[in-house]
A and B are shown apart, each in its own frame.
Chain A
Amino acid sequence: MTAAFLIQTIVSALAVFALVGLAAWLGRPKASAPLDEAAARRLFAEELPGADIDAVWIAPDGKSALARSGDAALIAYRAGDGFVVREAPLSVLSAARLQDGRALLSLDDVAAPRAVFALPTGAPWPPRALVS
């Protein structure tokens, strides 16, 4: 690598830092309200069309939702100002790790390996509505 390239890379890195700062300061993210049941159903219908939803559970912070569709769990959680949605076997719910008032779900997916759900204080896990 030449000195010129090194200087160009350093200046570019400084520009990246400045632009990220500007975006954090002035940038307007997409409006995304906390999930409620209707919003979660719309999200699942849009992302996983054709899945029949038996029951829906919304995390208390509105940042994530779960649904049961037969033997499958439908999973939605916020990433930035968007949502990530996956379908997984229902067994991922009972295999979740509980820690600091959150449920951590391991997904067999390198693009989205883990989903985190805030839990209501003292509530059972998995949510009864989804496994009963």
Chain B
Amino acid sequence: MKLDPVTLATPFFILAIVLEIVLARLGKAKAAYEWRDVRTSLLMGLGSTVAGVLTGGIAVAATLYVYRFHLFDIPMNAWWAWVLIFFLEDFAYYVFHRLSHERRIWWASHVNHHTSQHYNLTTALRQTWTGGLALTWLPWLPLALIGFPPAMIAIEKGVSLVYQFWIHTEAIDRLPKPIEAVFNTPSHHRVHHARNPRYLDKNYAGILIIWDKLFGTFEPERAEEPVRYGVVKNLGDFNILRVSFHEWIAIGRDLLRDPRHALGYLFGPPGWSPDGSRQTSAEIKAAWRRRTAEAS
């Protein structure tokens, strides 16, 4: 049997969602559920599985090709190899995730995950349909070049995805300090899903929050500033095609209107425009800081 952590964990995902809905209903847990939002999240998850089958071959072929040139022979049955790949895969995820927020061409495939105005376990399943085609698997290729077998990389990626499921919840407030210090937790990831200017483009971690602390992208959740979920400009409805493709269509429109600035529209940060008529996250944050300073 093929070892796929995500497939193995799927029954747990379903049970956990049922539990969250029921506990929220009984007033025992904090969780808002809007059925159309749930429908969108789950259909995005289902569609992502199908898209993965249709486009996943590109990533597999690239990984196998790069592995032909691997620098070291790393055995799958060595404990140290699993320790090593745990850290390296998690760092690859950080790189992927940061670029997916800071470069529009990858943001277009990742934005769907942030389009819910809710934050519950179904939000975790609101996955991309276009990541394979957008080559967002590139940050993992160096692992194959180092010498980690492609199957090992795939398993560790699955472990990371399974880990990230349970942190999409408001039902868990804060965990003990040593855990919050090292691991990505519901609290840290709520910040990541926020659209408050203070919280924008923070906490890119997969499993370990240490990367954000190392590279200056960490922001703690603050009780005095409750998280508002979603994207800076929320979507007008729950249409899954709009969720999946709206940013790609917006990029296409920009390129048709002004092809001279194609590089900026594709590789600049989301919100970049040649005339400054739109706002990037950095500009939104700067404006917020100015307003805050003037008010105090």
Contacts and interface: CB of A to CB of B under 8 A. Distances in A.
A111 B35 contact: no
A23 interface: yes
A22 B42 contact: no
Interface in A2-39: 5, 8-9, 12-13, 15-16, 19-20, 22-24, 26-30
B234 A114 contact: no
Given A50-B287, A82-B230, A26 B38 contact: no
Interface string B31-74: 11111111100110110011001000000000000000000000
Chain B binding surface SS class: helix
A19 B122 contact: yes
A30 B49 CA distance: 29
B117 A82 contact: yes
A49 interface: yes
A79 interface: yes
B234 to A, nearest CB: 5
A124 interface: no
Contacts of B32: 27-30, 81
B161 interface: no
A80 B236 CA distance: 10
Interface in A43-94: 46, 49-50, 77, 79-86
Contact of B34 (A15, A22, A30): A30
Given A16-B46, A29-B34, A22 B21 contact: yes
A119 interface: no
B288 interface: yes
A9 B37 CA distance: 21
B17 interface: yes
B233 A28 contact: no
Interface size class of B (residues with CB under 8 A): 35 or more
A84 B235 contact: yes
Contacts of B36: 80
B34 A80 contact: yes
B246 interface: yes
Contacts of B237: 79, 112
Contact of A82 (B18, B31, B234): B234
Contacts of B45: 16
B42 A19 contact: yes
B25 interface: yes
B236 A27 contact: no
A122 interface: no
Given A9-B46, A27-B38, A30-B32, A79 B18 contact: no
22 contacts: A9-B49, A12-B49, A15-B14, A23-B35, A26-B25, A26-B33, A27-B25, A27-B35, A28-B32, A28-B33, A29-B33, A30-B117, A50-B291, A79-B234, A81-B32, A83-B234, A84-B236, A109-B236, A110-B242, A111-B234, A111-B242, A112-B236
Interface of B: 7, 10, 14, 17-18, 21-22, 24-25, 31-39, 42-43, 45-46, 49-50, 53, 117-118, 122, 228, 230, 233-238, 242, 246-247, 249-250, 253, 287-288, 291
Sort A-B residue pairs by CB-CB distance and give the 9 closest, nearest first.
A27-B33, A112-B236, A24-B35, A82-B117, A23-B38, A16-B42, A29-B34, A30-B32, A80-B34
